[in-house]
Chain A
Amino acid sequence: MPPPVLDVRALSVQFETNEGPLRVLRDVSLQVAPGETFGLAGESGSGKTTLGYTILQALAPTARVTGGAILFEGRDLLGVSEDELRRIRGRRIAMVYQDPRSALNPTTRIGAQIAEVLEIHERAPARAAGRRAQELLELVNIADPASVARRYPHELSGGMQQRAVIAMALAGGPSLLILDEPTTGLDVTTQARILELVADLKRRVGAAILYISHDLAVIAQVADRVGVLYAGELVEVGPTADLFAQPVHPYTRGLLDALPHLDGLRGLVPIEGRIPRLTDLPPGCVFAPRCDFVAPACTAATPALETVAPERRARCVRWPTVLATPRRSTAAAIAPETVASDAPLLAFEHVSKYFGGAGAVARWLGIGAPPVRAVDDVSFDVRADEVVALVGESGCGKTTLGRLAVRLLRPTAGRVRFAAPKPTDAQIVFQHPDSSLNPMKRIGPSLARPLVLRGLRRRERGRRVRELLEAVRLDPDYGARRPAALSGGEKQRVAIARALAMAPQFVVLDEPVSALDVSTQASIIRLLAELRRTLGASYLMISHDLSLVRHVAARVGVMYLGRLVEIGAVDEVFRAPSHPYTRALRSAVPRPDPAVPGRPIRLEGSVPSAQHPPAGCRFHTRCPQKIGRVCEEAEPPWARASPTHWIACHIPIAELSRSSEEARP
Chain B
Amino acid sequence: MARYALRRLASIALILLLVSAIVFAAIHVLPGNAATLILGEYATPEALRTLEREMGLDRPLLVQYASWVASVVTGDWGVSLAMKQPVATVVGYRLRNSAFLALAALTVVVVVGVPLGTLAALRRGRPLDLAIVTATYVGISIPEFVTGLVLLLVLAGPSVGWFPTSGYVELASGVTAWARHLVLPAMTLTIVLLAHVVRQTRSGLADVLTAPYIRTARLKGASARRIVLRHALRNALLPTITVLALDLGYLMGGIVVVEEVFAYPGMGRLIIYAVQNRDVPLLQMCALVVASVYVLANFAADLAYAWLDPRIRYS
Contact = CB atoms under 8 A, between A and B. Distances in A.
Interface of A: 56, 58, 86-91, 94-95, 97, 99, 102-108, 116-117, 120-121, 152, 154, 165, 168, 172, 367
Nearest to A109: B310
A89 B221 contact: yes
A90 B220 contact: yes
Given A105-B216, A106-B235, A86 B310 contact: no
Contact of A89 (B7, B220, B230, B235): B220
B88 to A, nearest CB: 36
Contacts of B218: 58, 89
Contact of B309 (A58, A104, A107): A107
Contacts of A107: 234-235, 308-311
Contacts of A56: 219
Interface stretch (B67-75, B103-111, B187-195, B207-215): B207-215
A89 B220 CA distance: 5
A102 B216 CA distance: 9
A395 B219 CA distance: 32
Given A58-B218, A89-B221, A120-B220, 9 more contacts: A56-B219, A86-B222, A91-B221, A102-B211, A105-B216, A107-B308, A107-B310, A152-B310, A154-B310
A97 to B, nearest CB: 7
B226 interface: yes
B221 A106 contact: no
B221 A90 contact: yes
Nearest to B222: A120
B56 to A, nearest CB: 36
Contacts of A94: 219-220
Contact of B216 (A86, A91, A104, A120): A104
Contacts of A97: 212
A152 B311 contact: yes
B31 to A, nearest CB: 41
B223 interface: yes
Nearest to A154: B311
B231 interface: yes
A168 B220 contact: yes
28 contacts: A58-B215, A58-B219, A86-B223, A89-B218, A90-B222, A94-B219, A95-B219, A99-B212, A102-B211, A102-B212, A102-B213, A103-B212, A103-B215, A104-B213, A104-B216, A106-B213, A106-B309, A107-B308, A107-B309, A116-B220, A116-B222, A117-B220, A120-B221, A120-B226, A121-B221, A152-B311, A154-B311, A367-B7
B16 interface: no
Interface string B271-315: 000000000000000000000000000000000000011110000
A103 B222 contact: no
Contacts of A117: 220-221
Contact of B219 (A90, A104, A105, A121): A90
Given A56-B219, A117-B220, A121-B221, A105 B231 contact: yes
Contacts of B222: 86, 90, 116, 120
Contacts of B223: 86, 120
A99 B223 CA distance: 24
Contacts of A154: 310-311
6 closest residue pairs by CB, A with B:
A90-B221, A90-B220, A89-B221, A102-B212, A152-B310, A105-B213
B234 to A, nearest CB: 5
A202 to B, nearest CB: 21
B217 interface: yes
A103 B216 contact: yes
B42 to A, nearest CB: 54
A168 B220 CA distance: 8
Contacts of B7: 367
A87 B221 CA distance: 6
B221 A88 contact: yes
Interface string B233-263: 0110000000000000000000000000000
Nearest to B309: A107
Max count, chain A CB within 10 A of own CB: residue among B7, B211, B220, B235: B220
Interface string B16-37: 0000000000000000000000
A6 to B, nearest CB: 16
Among B226, B309, B311, the most chain A Cβ lie within 10 Å of the Cβ of B311
Nearest to B214: A105
A56 B217 CA distance: 13
A230 B75 CA distance: 78
A86 B226 CA distance: 12
Interface in B112-151: none
A168 B223 CA distance: 17
A58 B230 CA distance: 20
Contacts of B211: 102
Contacts of B213: 102-106
**Which of A97, A106, A121 has the most C-beta atoms of chain B within 10 angstroms of its own C-beta?**
A106
A97 B218 CA distance: 13
Nearest to B232: A105
A58 B213 CA distance: 13
A174 B310 CA distance: 31
Residue among B217, B234, B311 with most chain A CB within 10 A: B217
Contacts of B226: 120
A425 B275 CA distance: 68
Interface centre among B215, B219, B231, B309 (most CB of A within 10 A): B219
A160 to B, nearest CB: 16
A166 B149 CA distance: 60
Contacts of A86: 221-223
Contacts of A172: 220-221
A108 B217 CA distance: 12
Contacts of B217: 105, 116
A522 B142 CA distance: 62
Nearest to B220: A90
A172 B213 CA distance: 18
Nearest to B231: A105
Contacts of A105: 213, 216-217, 231, 235
A256 B186 CA distance: 71
Contacts of B310: 106-107, 152, 154
A58 B234 CA distance: 23
A106 B213 CA distance: 8
A99 B218 CA distance: 17
Contacts of A116: 217, 220, 222, 230
Contacts of A367: 7
Contacts of A168: 216, 220
Nearest to A117: B220
B307 to A, nearest CB: 10
Interface in B56-88: none
A148 to B, nearest CB: 14
B230 to A, nearest CB: 8
Nearest to B216: A103
Contacts of A165: 216
A120 B309 CA distance: 24
B186 to A, nearest CB: 32
B278 to A, nearest CB: 43
